[in-house]
Structure formats: C-alpha cells, structure tokens
Copies of this chain bind each other. A is one copy, B any other.
Amino acid sequence: MIKDIVQKTLLFDFYGQLLTEKQRDIVELYYSDDLSLSEISEQIGISRQGVYDALKRAEGILEEYESRLGLVDKFLLQRSLLAKVSDMLDEIINTDDEVISDIKNRIRSIKSFVERLE
C-alpha cells in the first residue's frame, strides 16, 4: 500500500504537468493533502463518484505516460545506483586503509557504477 502510494506520487511528480489543472488538483488533494473522496467532493463541488472517476482517469493517464516513457522506472534505477556510489565514496572517506593502490581500486569500481549512470 505504501509502495503503491510512493509509485503514484512518483508518477505524479514526473507526469503531473501533462494532466489538466482540474485533474492535478484532485490528485493533489487525494495523495498529497490526504483528503477523502467525500471531502474533495465538498471542496470542489462535484459528486463523490465524479471525484472517484476523475482520480481513476488521471491515474490511468499517468500510467499510460509511464508505459510509453518509463521515466519513473529509470529514475528508480538511477537513484539506487547513486545511493551505491554515495555509500562507496563514504566507505573510502571513513576507511583506515592507507594503501593507495587499494583505494585506487575502489575508485575504479565506483567509476564503473558512474558509467552505468551516463
């Protein structure tokens, strides 16, 4: 469930600008402001069913963009590679190892991760 919300939030971050303003408002009220369907219905003056339909339609549009462009998937892969690079840099910063050749070998393996990001 949490994972589902994270995924939907990422989809909205990447493709939200391709929704209409009204669709964006409804998605934000639901996912960012955590309002219920009924609360959104009252706030924007359409039926609860109308809010539900608009939300599902907006989600469908965002998923369609992702299926074509795959930016969220790419972003998640990049993020995990960057976290790995960052950890490996920290390991060198914090190491007691004083052997330069060892450190250079570590740098080489960091470089191979950086190349995967390019």
Q: Which A residues are within 8 Å of any B CB, using their own CB?
A: 14-15, 17-18, 65, 68-69, 71, 79, 82-83, 85-86, 89-90, 92-93, 98, 100, 103-104, 107-108, 110-111, 114-115, 117-118
Among B69, B100, B103, B107, point to the contact of A14 (Cβ < 8 A): B69
Residues in B with CB closer than 8 Å to A83 are: 118
State which of B18, B98, B100, B111 has its C-beta within 8 Å of the C-beta of A89. B111
Give the chain B neighbours of A90 by CB distance below 8 A.
Answer: 111
Known: A79-B118, A86-B118. 20 other contacts (CB 8 A): A14-B69, A17-B69, A18-B65, A18-B68, A18-B69, A71-B71, A82-B114, A82-B117, A82-B118, A86-B111, A86-B114, A89-B107, A89-B110, A89-B111, A90-B111, A92-B103, A92-B107, A100-B100, A100-B103, A103-B103
